[in-house]
Structure 1
């Protein structure tokens, strides 16, 4: 039996206060590690909000944590007490983005009593539960967690504060702490693999021996045709940046996925006899504005917006010239990302007669993100594709007006596939290129619909305190690893 403290996690000295919550199955203790007057100890008077009757800011924060502990405890089997250290430091943030919170297992263990697999790392809370004993005799908490105390303040997503209600009715422009906390505790319980995605290396024991994690046998790369357990470190490193190519094969997730995700994967199909190299199916990120893609496909010739009078190529940030308007009228316009809002580009193409828009990303990597924004006057569909895919299409279209009617774009959805899963019905893990530390691999892919709790960014439509099918798949993955 052996355990290690996971790298990259630090704990401050534990303060005296402790909140324990005994639920139907598991008992969870919250260890308040904040300094006096900070975080959970903030005595600022506040009014009750959304069922949270705490009279101080710190008390309301703790009330949310107790509720989340209750939700998770009821889902987990009985075992040794699960201790979670919790505090409110100043995490990274600026005017446009912020780290909301972070959490993870403090230690991992292998070859402990009742371990389902030998030579395999399990997160501390799960390992203790399987062994039915606290493997480090209470020397360390099982999970550490931190949340951004500055959220909503100047230069930290100013005007976007935490919502501390318990009712799931976070006002627009706020961030529901209960949802973020439920997500982070999920990581601490085991919704993460400590295998290093940026290097492909498995965690190493104190004697230098590397062992696989419990995740690896259920992480399957569709390109390589292997699980991470079967791969070399170099192959795992490549898999971690294989956009929408890495899937989860655990039986519980696979069985319950159809009750959670919806059918209809957005896609662009390109057809061309004259330019066979561009024909194929392209991954797309759909727009948040305009009509959604549907099973009723939109089909038309593809045309690239060419140089504007000011020398900018394909941006469509101004009304299209007469030459460009003639190119895109009645066709699907190919535009480049940059300079102005996506909705502006699409509206200008629409005003010129385009029936749809494809925006080419201006940075390398994938998968393609969606097009954020809003404009109720946009009535044509639009999507984003990767820079590499855009280069392929632009090579055929650049300087070749005749190609405009020789390349056909078909925008729609594949109703045979669940959004967020591969063709075999296995849910995709988040593997963007380039690698995103803290997000890659240990989350579901952002293409999942419905939105899932364990995606790398919190979505506004997540139901509060729901972690299992038919609302979510977090508990199903935890069951797959042994809970």
Structure 2
């Protein structure tokens, strides 16, 4: 048996994965007896916090959302127990799964924070019950398949860390906190149970152990995760690609798909038709054509409220941009009334922009990104918003603004139509396979080990927690459990 410890920090501004991996390769294959018949899993929580902090924080807490805890620490632990029980009811293992968990100060600033990070504490290869030899499996899954606990007595299978500073300190996203209720009513706060469900899934195996920055396999072996990835541009499995090819696919937008059968057969039941922006009209010029868009979590879904109208920009900044962060001026209100408003990202929440252009009479809103990158959705909740909204890339925003240069006060001659794609499901490739998260610049801890942010509906295993998640891990609301089935669960 070979054991290798690997250390890595909690990187990135979104949900990442593990801090430490112990890799175990069983060189001699022995016969292990299974333990009884199949049953729902048992998940045990190992409280790794010191007295007085984290799960042991004695700060008094008022009842919230069915959480019976009377202190901050107790409420955190009850939320963790709820998430663990949800997962235990969906997976099968005769080996109890242990999670070493703690609330600790993680990376945080005034505008962003790491919510949490988790992953497998050990990976195991060449064991009885492995579907593919010479392949890394997370220890919880390996133990389930072999029917024997590969972790040392008292050691966890999963290690998980969550941000103890979120919203509690002025330099850590003031005003944004973990919602500790168990009733899915987090509103504008971060639902801790949903965050925990996400991170536990990473520990169960929703992650690669291959280095997505270098393309190198861990100790020369691929992981079971890697066998389910395919470069959809050339239909080449990840495991047969070179390291350089893997790096390229990990940073190619819409270039990497999940090829597992369980996820692919489930996408039509879970995902909605993709939204698309079509530009035309007598003044569209070179901007005419179709544009990929990210959907909004607020307002009506584009598939239910397609809209077609003149595209008109909001201009309320000296540089020619329009943020729409306050009530529109008379000039801008005239421009967008009865039209689709083009605004720029930044300055305020997306829902604020939508409220302001809606109040001015706009029929829809398109938000042009302020930084380079791929399309992404727009989070937020506001039941008063009745117009559809979509987000486009910065480059596409520039192209549309160029076409809008010759316009009158209320007409541009550029017609925008937001509608559903008649063929493609949101978040899938042309074969209805789920796309993975592969931004153009590698995001350590996020790239490859999450679903794309283009999915609609929002999914649990996107790289950030969305406000409309409903504690579901399976169809018709989610694809996380089918992916774990593809791994062997």
* Same fold per superposition (TM over 0.5): yes
Checking the alignment, whether the CA contact within 8 Å between 2:177 and 2:189 is kept in structure 1 is yes
Q: 1:479 maps to what in 2?
A: 485
**Aligned partner of 2:468 among 426, 445, 461:** 461
RMSD: 3.5
- Whether 2:253 is the aligned partner of 1:243: answer yes
Q: 1:217 maps to what in 2?
A: 227
| Residues in 2 aligned to 1:269 and 1:330: alpha-carbon distance in whole angstroms | 18
Aligned pairs (5 A) from 1:335-350: 335-339=343-347
**Aligned partner of 1:439 among 446, 453, 461:** 446
Q: Once the 2 structures are TM-superposed, how far is the Cα of residue 214 of structure 1 from its aligned partner? A: 1.1
- Whether 2:68 is the aligned partner of 1:75: answer no
SS in 2 for 1:75: coil
Q: 2:295 maps to what in 1?
A: 286
| Residues in 2 aligned to 1:406 and 1:293: alpha-carbon distance in whole angstroms | 22
Q: 1:168 maps to what in 2?
A: 183
| Residues in 1 aligned to 2:356 and 2:185: alpha-carbon distance in whole angstroms | 35
SS in 2 for 1:71: helix
Gaps in structure 2 of 5+ consecutive residues = 9-17, 21-37
SS in 1 for 2:101: strand
Q: Which digits, 9 at most, give the CA deviation of each residue in 1:230-259, with x for residues without a partner?
A: 322222222223233322121111222333
**Aligned partner of 2:371 among 359, 363, 368:** 363
SS in 1 for 2:111: coil
Q: 1:35 maps to what in 2?
A: 50
Checking the alignment, whether the CA contact within 8 Å between 1:313 and 1:336 is kept in structure 2 is no
Which stretch shifts more, 407-416 or 108-117?
407-416
Q: TM-score, normalised by structure 2?
A: 0.80
Q: 1:313 maps to what in 2?
A: 320
Checking the alignment, whether the CA contact within 8 Å between 2:460 and 2:469 is kept in structure 1 is yes
Checking the alignment, whether the CA contact within 8 Å between 2:305 and 2:388 is kept in structure 1 is no
- Whether 2:396 is the aligned partner of 1:389: answer yes
Q: 1:20 maps to what in 2?
A: none
- Whether 2:278 is the aligned partner of 1:269: answer yes
| Residues in 1 aligned to 2:71 and 2:342: alpha-carbon distance in whole angstroms | 54
- Whether 2:200 is the aligned partner of 1:192: answer no
Q: Once the 2 structures are TM-superposed, how far is the Cα of residue 2 of structure 1 from its aligned partner? A: 5.2
Checking the alignment, whether the CA contact within 8 Å between 1:40 and 1:57 is kept in structure 2 is yes
Checking the alignment, whether the CA contact within 8 Å between 1:337 and 1:362 is kept in structure 2 is yes
Q: 1:145 maps to what in 2?
A: 160
Q: Once the 2 structures are TM-superposed, how far is the Cα of residue 144 of structure 1 from its aligned partner? A: 0.6
Change (3 A) 1:71 1:232: same
Which stretch shifts more, 471-480 or 224-233?
224-233
| Residues in 1 aligned to 2:416 and 2:328: alpha-carbon distance in whole angstroms | 23
Q: Once the 2 structures are TM-superposed, how far is the Cα of residue 217 of structure 1 from its aligned partner? A: 2.5
SS in 1 for 2:245: helix
Change (3 A) 1:2 1:259: farther
Change (3 A) 1:341 1:101: closer
| Residues in 1 aligned to 2:356 and 2:46: alpha-carbon distance in whole angstroms | 55
Which stretch shifts more, 191-200 or 47-56?
47-56
| Residues in 2 aligned to 1:217 and 1:237: alpha-carbon distance in whole angstroms | 16
Q: Which digits, 9 at most, give the CA deviation of each residue in 1:184-213, with x for residues without a partner?
A: 11110101112222332222x2xxxx2222
Q: 1:409 maps to what in 2?
A: 416
Q: 2:137 maps to what in 1?
A: 122
Q: Which digits, 9 at most, give the CA deviation of each residue in 1:374-413, with x for residues without a partner?
A: 594x765442211122233445554699xx8775432112
SS in 1 for 2:424: strand
Checking the alignment, whether the CA contact within 8 Å between 1:453 and 1:474 is kept in structure 2 is yes
Checking the alignment, whether the CA contact within 8 Å between 2:187 and 2:381 is kept in structure 1 is no
| Residues in 1 aligned to 2:376 and 2:43: alpha-carbon distance in whole angstroms | 40
Checking the alignment, whether the CA contact within 8 Å between 1:337 and 1:360 is kept in structure 2 is yes
Q: Once the 2 structures are TM-superposed, how far is the Cα of residue 482 of structure 1 from its aligned partner? A: 1.1
Q: 1:94 maps to what in 2?
A: 109
Gaps in structure 1 of 5+ consecutive residues = 12-22
Q: 2:11 maps to what in 1?
A: none
Q: Once the 2 structures are TM-superposed, how far is the Cα of residue 339 of structure 1 from its aligned partner? A: 4.8
Corresponding pairs, count: 458
